[in-house]
Every structure is written in structure tokens, then in C-alpha cells.
Structure 1
Amino acid sequence: MIDFDKKIGWHPKFTKKVISRNEIILIGENNDHLFTNDKHKRIINLANGSKKVSQFIDEIPSFIEKASFLYSIKTLIDKEILAPLQSEKETLYHLPKKTKDIEIHDDVTIYNLSHISSTLLQNISISKKNISLIFIDNYLDPRLHLINKKHVHSQRPYVLIKLTGSKPMIGPFLSMKKKQPCWKCLSNQLLQNRPILNFLLKKNVENYISHPIYLQNVEIDLKWVTTVINDTIKNENTCFEINLQNNIILKKHIVHNKPQCSICGDRLLLKKQLQSPVNLHSCLKKEKMDGGSRSMSPDETLEKLDKYISPITGVISGLSFISEKKQNTITIYKSVYFKTPSPQEIINNSSFRQISLGKGIVNDQSKVSALCESIERYAALYQGDEFYIKSAPDNLNKRYYLPSQLAKFSKNQYQDYIDNKLPSNILNHLVNIYDTTIPLHWTLTWSLTKEEFVYLPFNHCFSNTPFDHDKQYIHWSSNGCAAGNSIEEAIIQGFYELIERDASAIWWYNKIERPLIDLSTIQEGKVFKIHETLKDEWDYWALDITNDFDIPTIAAIAQHKKTGVFCFGFGCHLNIETACTRALTELCQLIPVREQKNAPFDFNAIEEEQFLKGNGNKKKLSSYQNNESKDIKNDIIWGINKAKTLGFELLVTNYSRPDLPIKTVKVTIPGLCFIWPQLGNERLYNLPIKLGWSKQKLQECELNEMGLYV
């Protein structure tokens, strides 16, 4: 309930930081919040505590606005973001302890950085000797930096223990053995999963921001705590989230070693990797894998990735399904990871949380697809240990590709960027003309075609970089980025994506009428779930949009039976049947999210035109040549050779992070078309004529006006 006669302020568990006139950040023990003046001006003014709620409400003219504002206040009070001033709760929160107590008992060193009484800690009995117990209020306490370095140097193991706050935890036990994590490994991931806090630290160039500590009025059962500590020592690298009122373990969070850790590892690992050739090895496929060319089954991959899902210590914060679970239908999963924007970026509440969707006929494949897409994009985030140099292109000692060779915008699009009159969701994809005398940041990529190194703009290969000056000339996109159990598996997925999007762009922007695919001959087991998912509400069909690469590429189109609105998905694979199922599962993936707010592509704006229905001809699957082999390496070589005959070069940037269980790459083929409108690419206009699909070359103004931002 809201007490109208009281003043309201921020909950006492938060530290308030004002980062600009328009932005306030609240830092808490477990959660951080951003409030901006454009969306939360009244809330910010109320939380200043200068007026009672009733006085503030009286100043709002509209009844609807009053009701909406009261609902917002109640929601924020329920979430313990706002609280009445002079609340009894304030007495439960204390500023962090500044002192550090160190005691030694029988080869067990106790560091007390917490509010727990040091006298109480003397009674802890640990079975393991030559160990340190470090009691903390905050896992990010900067005093842990020197303590950790000391223990890494002496190879003395230790346990972190947090018995204060709203989320007490015991662990991890850090053994200090080789290839095992240290506190720096842990703190890096903790900060990655606190992107608002991380952003604030980077922006203000601080190494720590304290917050009030919640001290529960609970008598600690030291015997039970000691038992959990001893169990933690038997379970290396695990944090146990505990409930001290009921003496139960709630959750486990796995801590992972970072081989590239600046304290316990080799900070240069990724630099060395980016300067090493990409060598292909034999990589046999699993037979009849949902999702295409995979060297491991979905359940095997899921087992590897499951340990990396945790909102506290994981690379991926969570995994959940978004489509309604029905028998014999496809379930779409989403995974979430966090991104910390660069300090110069203009932020809002959508700046920090990133969502990836998965596709697949079986549940495990859909889960793996969502997880791998998150890892593929998480790994591409700038972390500071990448190889790059800053130079004007003509001063580089190897071949290079310019921004204009990687993203071919037209003169009109360059002018649109300069005029700055288009909506921001379109302008954000455009760039300025690059003057080659201006230095850019570059990284190395490996040419599988010519077996030599080539320079690419760093911002083409990595996202969220601090090189804001470069961003006016080149943007990162996920096009060609892929993850796999092996480097070969990742490369083939990235390659297929480039071919798929090249073909999709040429079909879409030219509105080419292409043949239908006879789906009746696909194995029933592969399409049964797809049909069950779509049949009640959607008519659906598939078009062959394969171009000069001769790799089957499919557009799966659906039209709602009642409303007539459209949706579509794309798929590409050397095997025509797999290409079809990939397109159809992507269609199923996009239907649940097709009407999401602020999406850059509006499916409801698609008008019914003949090119969406096809040219009336129907092709049987048996008419397609199957160039797929049993070895992914051979499929890649086939793709390299095909690209070469068409005058294209296949480049691979291996940005696999040493601490992740799967490989990640960005495949680049300069000169291909992209689904986002890059209307200066002559291939977009010439290929339909070359292949006999059109008789007359279109002008830029005649192309499909809807940018394919999917």
C-alpha cells in the first residue's frame, strides 16, 4: 500500500549515482537500475523526498496520468526500489566495513572483510589445512585484488564466504592449481553480469562502488555453515547460494577458469590466436542432425553449455522458452546475455540486456541454437585483449579491405547519413564515406582462399568497441558470425549464413518471382512438428531463391489465414532438405516475435505481392544435386572453391575466447550482398540479369523500399 502522507525515496539498500542531468543509477547488492529523465522524470523528482506523495499527486493534472503514476509507484515499492523515508528498513542496512582483520588458527588463515563478528569466526573448524577463509560482504571488494595476487603467487587455496546481505553465498573454493580460476576470473564475470555497475565504473574510471549491506536479524548456525564450507572445499569452483534462516542450499553457480586472465593466465592468448593461421582439420558429421552440419549431437553440446548458464557467474544469464508449449509443436527458446556499453554511448534500459533466439525441430536443438547464438555474439564483444593496430590503410604491411568494400552503400545512402534526417533505427546502419588518409583500427583475418593474412577494420570483426571515431565508417554486424563445437563447424555455419543473406537480399530487393519447392517429399519426421506448429493459423510455402553459388537457399513464407499478414524465414545448406527445414524452423522462430515493440522490421507492413507467392513453377527435391559430404572440412573446401570460381575470397576471423567451450568465428566474403540495404553493390542489380531472372536492370529507386532488417 502507498502511504500518501509520507515522503518517498530510493530504497536504503541502494547507492545513488548521478551520471548526468538526465540519468540516475542505483547500485545495490544484487541488482542495479537506470532511471532517465525522459522516461522517469516524475519518479526521480518524487524520490528526492521533498514532498509527500499526496502533494505530488495533486500537481498532476490528468486523472489517467495520476493513475498511471500511482501504479508505477506501487510497482517500484513492491520491487523494493522505492521506500517510504525514515523506514524501519533503513536500520537493517549498513555501510561497508573499512577494516580488515586477519587471524591464523592451525594453518587456517581467516580474513574478515565483513560485518560478521571476528569472535564468532574463531569457532570455525575446517578439515583442510594450509587454506585461507575470506569472509566478505561483497564479491567485488577491491581488497580482494591484493589478497588474490598473494594467494596465486604462493599457490595457497582459499574459500570466499559471504554470510551478510540478502543473498548469502559460500564459495567458491579456489584451489590455485594450474588451469583453475582465481578471484580475478570470477570478478570479471560478476561484472559482466552487472552491466549497469560495470558501465558506471568505466564511465567514472572507478575500481569500486560500495553499497549498503543488509544485515539479517538471524542467528547464524555456525555448525551448519562449517559443514557447507567443508563441502564447498570438496566441490571446487562452485558458489553455493544459501538461506541462513532455514539452513538450506538454494542454488549452485559454477566459476570458470579464464586462461586469458591477467593474474593467473596468459593475457596474450587471443592476440596470438588472431595472428595465427586458421588450419582446417577433418571434422566428421553426426548423421541426420537437426540443424545441419554438426559434429556433436544437441544433447552433447547442451551438456557442455549448461555449466555456463547463471545470472551470477555464467556467460549466459538465462534460458527459457517463448512459444507456447504444445504437444508435437516446435518450441522456441531464448537466451540472455549482458553487454556493457562503451562509456561514450548514449544509454537506456535496453542497452544492457541482449536476447538470442533458437531454432530447431527438437527441443534440445532449439536450446543449443539459442545458447550458441548468445555465445557467438558475447564472444564478439570487445574485451581489450584482442589484436589490433591503428594505421592508415596504405601504411599496412599486408593486403586489406576498406570499409566500402565490406559494406557497399550507395551515394544516396552516404548523403542520407550526412543529412541526418532519417529515423535513428535506419541511420544507425548507415556510415560516412571513408577517407583513406584517416587512420583506422585494424585486425588480422585469415584468407582460406589464398592462405595468407589480410587486414580488416577492427570494428567489422568486433562489437561494442571503444573506437567511436571508426564507427562513422564501419559497423559490426553478426553477419557471418557463428559458433560451433569445432572451428570447422563454426566456419560452415558462418559461410551458409553469408550465402543465405546474399540470396535473400537479391530476391527481396528485386522482388524476383522464384519457383516453389515441393515440400511433400521431405521426410515426414522432419516436417511433422513444423506443420503442427503452423497449420491452424498459417498457410505456408517455400521458394527456391538459390543463386550462382548453387547452394540450395530457401525462403519459407507464411500468411496468416485470418489477417493476411506475412512472416518468413530463410535457410541455406548444401543438402536441399536441410535447407528447407532450416528455413521453416526460422519461420517458426520469428512468428512469436514478429510484432515485438521497436523492432526495426515491421512484418505487418509487408504488402501482398506476387514475388512472395512465387512464379507458379514447382521444383521437386530430387531435382537438386547434393554436394554435401560426410566431413565438414570437405564442405568448406567445396565452398572455398565455388567462391573462388565466382571471383570471391573467403576470410575467417577466429575470435574464439579461450574460456568458452565452443569456437566462434566471423566469416567474411567481400562483395556479397547483405539483407540490410547496402544499395551500392552492383551484384544486387546485375545478378538477376546474369541469371536470366529479370530482363531489365532496376534502378536504386525501383528496389523494394522495405529494408530487410531481420
Structure 2
Amino acid sequence: MLLNYNQSITLDNNTSIFSHKKFTLIIKEDTSYLIKTDINLEELVYSNTSPNKAISTLPLKKRIATLQTLDNLHLKKIIKQMTSKGGNIKPLQEKMVKPENIRTIQYINEINEITVYNSRFEITKIIKSNSELEKFKSCVIRNDPIRYWFERYSNRITHHINHTKNTGDCNNKKIIAKETSPPPAEQDIHKSCDGGYRVKTAHETLELILPHVNNITGIVNKVEEVNCENLPFKTYKAIYQIDIPTFKDPTNFNFKISSLGKGKSIEQAKVSAIAECYERYAAQFQCNDDYIIDSFKNIEHKSIHPNIIHGLSERQKSSYSNNFIYPGKSSDDSYPDFNHSHKHHWSSAISLISKEKKYLPTSFLFANSPYGIKYCSWNSNGCAAGNTKDEAILQGLLELIERDAIAIWWYNKLQFQEINVHTLDQNIVSKIQTSLSTEWDIWFLNITHDFDIPVIACISRHLTTKKFRFGFGCHLKLEVAMERALTELCQLISIGSNHNAPFNFDEIDEHLFLYPKKDKNTTCNISNLEFSNISETLDFCLKKASSLGIDILVKDYNRSEIPLETVKVIAPGMCHIWPQMALDRLYSVPFKLNWVEYKSNELTLNKQKLYI
């Protein structure tokens, strides 16, 4: 069949494109596929017809599909040196096309040639004048009209290419990736603190990552504002694409998913949305991610038991198949018992406390792992992105501290003191008073717990419907923690009921613990901590965790195709906001801090599960 294809383009020495009538055959080293268009491409280029004219008679859908096909061919196009086989141009004597240019040229007048001498070489352009260009075109038209057609009618479009390390397929032999402890970084914290402690401003980070947002070649396809009037801060939504590999079917399933971003400034909201896309993308299992296969019994001394990770009580497990809804749960009819002697898939993370390697279930460290999710599945808790590894680790750790404090407050229904709104910058207070406060009553609760790092709940109640909304924030500076809680509140108000989380804000019952406690101090002494660099800040948090007997682990996702560092921070034994009724901290922390006279039990905890 190949002999019937009259026109050809050679791409990057590894791919060839052959055209015959309405068919285009693309041959690569490892695969080949055939494209059928609704126009005769061979006839089109011979007749020197523009693409718009050629497709003008097609229905709209076919016009779009045809243009997309032609555009894809153009994006992959590369010009090759013409030789005697190409027509009237004779072979170049002691000359060649410069290799580093041949991979990037877009137009024929960009082709360079190298003349080699005994003691030197000279680089000059092949096309030096308009007359030479016309001569070259006439040769191309006779011998390679497809290339000339693209040259004449296509526009130069520059796209960032993401060079992924995930080039294998899941049927190939596994590749064990090297895992190392994240190196310390001594970068100064930027004074703005927009979005927390960062080594770059939101503007600088956006300049770094925004060029990678692209609907054709980008991991993140687009970022757009979530329209909502009368809110002091904007929310942005970013769309990204993931491919889910399986062993049974090597064809990837493709999904587009959105992530939301918040911030005091529009730039920070955009950065937040894009960064969350990268967090979620980086966590997707790739076929060369590391794992071992062994039984828990054999590696018990260097692994974390699944029961500590999922935190489910025996009561929760027994009702798993009936009325217990758990995000990412197994599709099994009942929650299975973990067998210590059976072999399972494990992947490694590094302890930042002991510097030792620890193994956790692969299905917990990676999203959509093909190795099953029978005992514990991945969730985004502790996933973070940053300009540096330490910056990402700090953000992930603060998220764990925040959600641990939220769970202890929510499920124990603890009542805490209010923090005066005027603790915030006056400009922010003014924005609240002129926008949010016209429809919502707002107050801030100090739910800081035994970490002594400020954790804030921003609670609001609609003046008309009486429905509740809330947002949370954690940071070493009280004001930043309050800002984070406020911007998250605005984010949740802006999306309303347009989300797929199982939690329904409209079903929140009115409880005393949602309101400030006026007569008694039930909170830790709140600190306002300031540091000069990320490493110093992270070291403080790690020492605090260690003093509480909590280990902090980090999984470095190490995705070279992402312009930010991405990690997952894990703290075995700390609570998620989801119901994890087997975890001791849920009951011991309130009692230890004298917030309650007696420890709670599972039956007395808040029945409304916080799935947000």
C-alpha cells in the first residue's frame, strides 16, 4: 500500500508522512496510523489551493476536524535538506544542515548550512535572496508540494513541549526510580507572603508557569475566572488532562479535570489554580514509578501499616458496603481484611525526621495506580507544588496541620474563641464590609491545636437563607492564616453547588460549635511566628511534629515535565477532614489540652462527614 503514496514528508529522521488522495499515513519507529480527511490532500497541494477554500463546502464539524488534522501535521513538520533525489538542487560538497537547527526550524529560509574546511567551518543560510527562495520553491512544488503548501498557508505557532519521563507502557518491566532525601534550601522568603511563605512573588511564579498553559501541548490546558459577583476575591479554574494506564488494556483513558485557585490577588488565584493542577497531575501513577512487591510481614520494620493510613474503625469497615461513603473507596462489596503474609505493591517515601526510607502502599502514594486500591487509596491531602522542593513540602505540611485541627474541631464539636476581623489588613476589612458582608454574616474562629501553629476557620451564614459556608487556613503568621481562610470561603461561595464533592453545605445543621465561645478560653495560646527563609520555617515545623511523636514523610513525584516541584507530604496518625474514626488524635488531643472533661467516643462524634 505504501507504494501508492506519492507525496511524503520526513520528520525528525524517525517519522514519515505519506499522502494519497484523502488518506495520510504516519509511520513512526514504534507505531503507525492512518488518517482520513474530508478533502483530497494530494490534489489540494497540487492545485495550490488555500485550506479555507478547500474546506468551505464541508459541514462545520468536518471543517473543524479537517483543520485540526492539518494543524497537527504542521506542528510536527520539519524541513529536510534537498539533495539530488529532490530535484534540481545538486548535492552539497562538504556541507551539511546544522543538526541543532533542523529540529527547530519552521520556514525554509531558516535552514543553515555548514561549510567544512581543514581548519575552520562557516555557517551560512541556504536561501540568501528572494530569487534563490523562488528557485527553491519551484523545485519544492515539483517534488514535494505538501511541504510547500504548509509553507505558504500555515502560520508559525510556538508551543512549550512537556518532556515527560513516562515513555514506557504498563506492560513493560518496571523501572526503579532513585529516591533521595530533598536537599535543604536557604532561599529567603518574599516579603509579600501572598499565598504563604514563598521564595518568589505570585507575579514571578505566574510568569514561569503561564507559558506552559496550552490547549495543544500543555498539561494544563487553560485557566479562567469563575464568575461570581459581590465577592472581595476572585476564584480561578484551571483545566488539566490526565491519561490513566491499565495493564489489561494498554490504551490510556483520557479525562479532563478542573482545579480551583484562590488568593488575595488575581495573579495568586491563577497561580493557585494552575499549581493545584500540577499537584494532581504529578500524583498520577506513571509506568516507571518505583515500587517493590513484598509482604508486610517481611518489610514491617520499614513500612507503614495500611490501617494507620486509612484510619477506618472496625465499625466503619463493617458498614462499608452499606451506608459508608468513602471517596476513592474500593469497588469491593465489603472492606477487605489486610493479610500480612500476602504480597502487595509498596512505594517509598523519605522520613524528614529520621531520614530513613519508608514503604507505603503504592495505591496510597499514587492516584489511579493499576495495582488496586483494596486497603487504602490515594487522596490529595498533603499534595503540594512550589518553586522549590522545600517550599512545596512546607505547603503540604501546613495543609496536614490545618486538616488535623479541622477534624478535631468538627467531629468533637468544640466551641472556640473568635478572632477580631480587624486583625486583618484594613484594605481587606474594607473589601469584606463593602461586598461579602452585604449578604453574609462572617466571623473567624481560632481552632489552633497542639502544633501551636495558627489554624483559622472563617464561618459565614447567609443573611436570607441562613445557610452556612466556611473556609479554613493555616500559616505561621496569624494574619496570613486568616487571609487563607477568607479566600477559601470566597472560593466555596463562588462555586456554590457546582461541585462533585459528596458534602452538601445546605445540609449543615445549626450547632453551637459553629459560633464563637464568649466566656471561656478553650484554645491554645496563639503564636505569630516569623522566619527569614523556607528551610528555617520547615525545620521549626518538623521539630514541633517530632516533639508530638509524629513522623513526617515526603514522596517526591519528580516530574520533569512540570515547571514546579511537586510532592506529597504524609504524617501517619494525623487526621484528615474525612472521617477516620480509628485515629487516636481525634480523641486524645481535646482531652490532653483540657478542652473536654472526658474523651469522646465514635458514637458521640459529629455524624456529618466533612467531605469538602
TM-score (norm 1): 0.65
**Structure 1 counterpart SS, 2:594:** coil
CA distance in 2, matches of 1:98, 1:699: 77
8 Å contact from structure 1 (residues 487, 663) kept in 2: yes
**1:353 maps onto 2:288 in alignment:** no
Amino acid of the structure 2 residue aligned with 1:450: S
Q: Is the 8 A contact 1:570 1:584 kept in 2?
A: yes
In structure 1, what is the Cα distance between the partners aligned to 2:503 and 2:227?
A: 20
| Shift in CA distance, 658/111, structure 1 to aligned 2, threshold 3 Å | closer
Amino acid at match of 1:504: I
Q: Are 1:254 and 2:160 an aligned pair?
A: yes
Q: Of 464, 480, 492, which aligns to 2:382?
A: 480
Match of 1:208 in 2: none
Q: Distance in 1 between matches of 2:497 and 2:278?
A: 25
Alpha-carbon distance between aligned partners in 2 of 1:531 and 1:478, rounded to the nearest angstrom? 34
For residues 155-554 of structure 1, what are the structure 2 equivalents within 5 Å? 165-167=66-68, 168-169=70-71, 170-172=74-76, 225-227=150-152, 232=156, 240=157, 253-258=159-164, 261=167, 271-273=176-178, 275-324=179-228, 329-341=232-244, 343=246, 352-396=255-299, 399-417=302-320, 419-422=321-324, 431-468=335-372, 471-554=373-456
SS at match of 1:166: helix
SS in 2 for 1:442: strand
Question: 2:471 maps to which residue?
Answer: 569
2:569 aligns to what? Answer: 667
Q: Find 1:693's aligned residue among 595, 605, 608.
A: 595
Q: How does 1:62-81 map to 2 (within 5 A)?
A: none
In 1, are the aligned partners of 2:14 and 2:28 still within 8 Å (CA)? no
- Say yes or no: does 1:559 pair with 2:484: no
- Given that 2:162 and 2:219 are in contact with CA atoms closer than 8 Å, whether structure 1 keeps it comes out as no
Partner of 2:131: none
Could you say if the C-alpha distance between residues 585 and 99 of structure 1 is closer, same or farther in structure 2, counting changes exceeding 3 Å?
farther
Please list the CA deviations of residues 400-427 of structure 1 after superposition, one character each: whole Å capped at 9, or x if unmatched.
101111121111011112x445457696
Q: Residues of 2 paired with 1:583 and 1:104: CA distance?
A: 56
SS, match of residue 307 in structure 1: helix
Which whole-Å CA distance do the structure 1 matches of 2:219 and 2:600 have between them? 46
Paired residues, what number?
A: 511
CA distance in 1, matches of 2:9, 2:146: 22
Deviations 1:216-267 (A, max 9, x none): xxxx9986731567x75xxxxxxx4xxxxxxxxxxx543233356569xxx9
Q: CA deviation at 1:522?
A: 1.7
The structure, 1 or 2, with the larger RCO (C-alpha pairs under 8 Å, 6+ apart) is 2
Tell me how far 1:656 sits from its aligned partner. Answer: 2.5
Counterpart of 2:28 in structure 1 is 144
Contact 2:554 2:570 in 1 (8 A): yes
Please show how residues 98-137 of structure 1 align to structure 2 within 5 Å: 101=6, 111-115=16-20, 137=24
Q: Residues 145 and 309 (structure 1 numbering): CA distance in 2 closer, same or farther, change over 3 Å?
A: farther
CA contact (8 A) 1:270 1:657 kept: no
- Measured against aligned partners, the alpha-carbon deviations of 1:570-621 in whole angstroms (never above 9, x if no partner) come to 10011111111001101111112231265310100101111001212699x9
> Aligned-pair RMSD on alpha carbons?
3.7
The structure with the largest alpha-carbon Rg is 2
Letter in 1 for 2:269: S
Task: For 1:386, give the aligned amino acid.
Answer: D
Change (3 A) 1:634 1:663: same
Q: Distance in 2 between matches of 1:423 and 1:101?
A: 60
SS at match of 1:678: coil
Distance 1:458 1:374 in 2: 21
Q: Tell me the equivalent position of 2:553.
A: 651
Q: 1:587 to 1:344 in 2, by over 3 A?
A: farther
Shift of 1:449: 0.2
Identity %: 34
Distance 1:625 1:401 in 2: 32
Which residue does 2:90 correspond to in 1?
Answer: none
Q: How far does residue 693 in structure 1 lie from its aligned partner after superposition?
A: 0.9
**TM-score with structure 2 setting the length:** 0.75
After superposition, the Cα gap between the structure-2 partners of 1:458 and 1:555, relative to the gap in structure 1 and judged at 3 Å, is: same
SS of the equivalent of 1:370 reads helix
2:161 maps to amino acid? V
Match of 2:162, SS state, is coil
| Distance 1:590-1:110 versus aligned 2 partners, 3 A rule | closer
Q: CA contact under 8 A between 2:296 and 2:343: conserved in structure 1?
A: yes
- Asked whether the 8 Å contact 1:530–1:588 carries over to 2, the reply is no
Read off the aligned partner of 2:317 and give its amino acid letter.
Y
Write out per-residue CA displacement over residues 278-320 of structure 1, whole angstroms, 9 at most, x where no aligned residue: 2222121111231111111112111221222222211012211
1:581 aligned to 2:483? yes
CA–CA distance in 2 between the matches of 1:260 and 1:320?
Answer: 28
**Whole-angstrom distance in 1 between the partners of 2:288 and 2:507:** 43
C-alpha distance 651-517 of structure 1, shift in aligned 2 (>3 A):
same
Q: Which moved more, 1:683-692 or 1:423-432?
A: 423-432
Distance 2:409 2:533 in 1: 31
Whether contact under 8 Å (1:515, 1:614) holds in the other structure is yes
Whether the 8 Å contact between 1:337 and 1:354 is mirrored in structure 2 is yes
Unaligned runs of 5+ in 1: 1-95, 118-135, 149-160, 182-219, 233-239, 241-251
Question: For the residues of structure 2 that align with 1:111 and 1:439, how far apart are their CA atoms?
Answer: 46
Cα separation, 1, equivalents of 2:461 and 2:248: 39
Output the CA distance in 2 between the equivalents of 1:108 and 1:278. Answer: 39
- Give the SS at the match of 2:311: coil
Q: Deviations over 1:160-179 (max 9, x none)?
A: x997823231224679759x
Distance 1:447 1:485 in 2: 21
Letter in 1 for 2:66: G
